[in-house]
A and B are shown apart, each in its own frame.
Chain A
Amino acid sequence: MKLRPTDRAYGDLEALIKRPRDYANVSAAVKAIGGVGPPPGGKPIAVVNDQYDVYTYEPPGTGSTVIVLIWDPDDPGTAVFAGLWPDPDGSRRATKRVAAEAASAAGVVDPRVFVSG
């Protein structure tokens, strides 16, 4: 599986590396995700344009920040690392906003978000 950073992710990572502990935690989380892929049988927090599954992952040590990944349905082995966002923590409105922002950052044009659950 590959993780392809977006411009947003580059920005997040470049800001984060100035705080080595936070960077190391996010790096460990991203590498762990790379070894696992989307959770088997897992439910995405949202689906964008009836096509892209959006998942959030909690890295350790970084408070209420989550890593947002957009899984590419045409290439199941590849996720777009959309970047870091505040944890929507179950709020439908926040989930919709995070998924839309992440999808835009990942290059999805005119994202229409369906929040799962």
Chain B
Amino acid sequence: MVAKPTGLETFEEADRRLRASHPKAEAFLNRTAQKRKISEFLLRARYRAGLRQVEVAKNAGMSKSQVSRLEDVSGPVPDILTVLRYMTACKATIGLVAIKSIDPDHSQIVDAIPLNVSELAHVNLLDAPKLEEAAGG
């Protein structure tokens, strides 16, 4: 049973109220938290550009269903090159951000640079073993 709203409420308030009444939805939302962050990131870029999925698909050389899957809150987290293609199609880019940890719950952005496709290939961010080695793993 859904609790009824009392007066006006923001979407965030409505969301909290609905989730509290639907444990299955709450569990799904918790399970997909990481992909939802990516999804919201991609959607913000598309909405900021004022583009429809079909326009992003055309600009990125993807199908509309590929774009929809990338944006979907479920499914695998996309690789960085795919994210860059999507962002470029939204007339944006991605970058490298240096984040300083303050404590386990807080961090601070201390440096950031934008990237393009050739730079991304140059720094070889997709080389997972080297990444783990660099991270001391």
Contacts and interface: CB of A to CB of B under 8 A. Distances in A.
A24 B71 contact: no
A74 B89 CA distance: 33
A97 B47 CA distance: 23
Given A36-B47, A39-B47, A61 B29 contact: no
Interface residues of B, number: 37
Interface stretch (B17-25, B102-110, B128-136): B17-25
Interface in B41-79: 43-44, 47-50, 52-53, 68-74
Contacts of B71: 25, 28, 60-61
Please indicate which of the listed interface residues B9, B22, B36, B72 has the most CB atoms of chain A within 10 Å of its own CB.
B72
A34 B11 contact: yes
Interface residues of A, number: 36
Contact of B72 (A4, A25, A43): A25
Nearest to B14: A5
A92 to B, nearest CB: 17
A42 interface: yes
B10 A4 contact: yes
A32 B40 contact: yes
A94 interface: no
- Interface of chain B: mostly helix, strand, loop or mixed: helix
Given A31-B40, A41-B50, A60-B39, A21 B28 contact: yes
A24 B36 contact: yes
A10 B7 CA distance: 12
B5 interface: yes
A66 to B, nearest CB: 10
Contact of A5 (B9, B22, B36, B48): B9
A14 interface: yes
A57 interface: yes
Interface of A: 2-5, 9-10, 13-14, 17-18, 20-21, 23-25, 27-36, 39-43, 57-61, 81
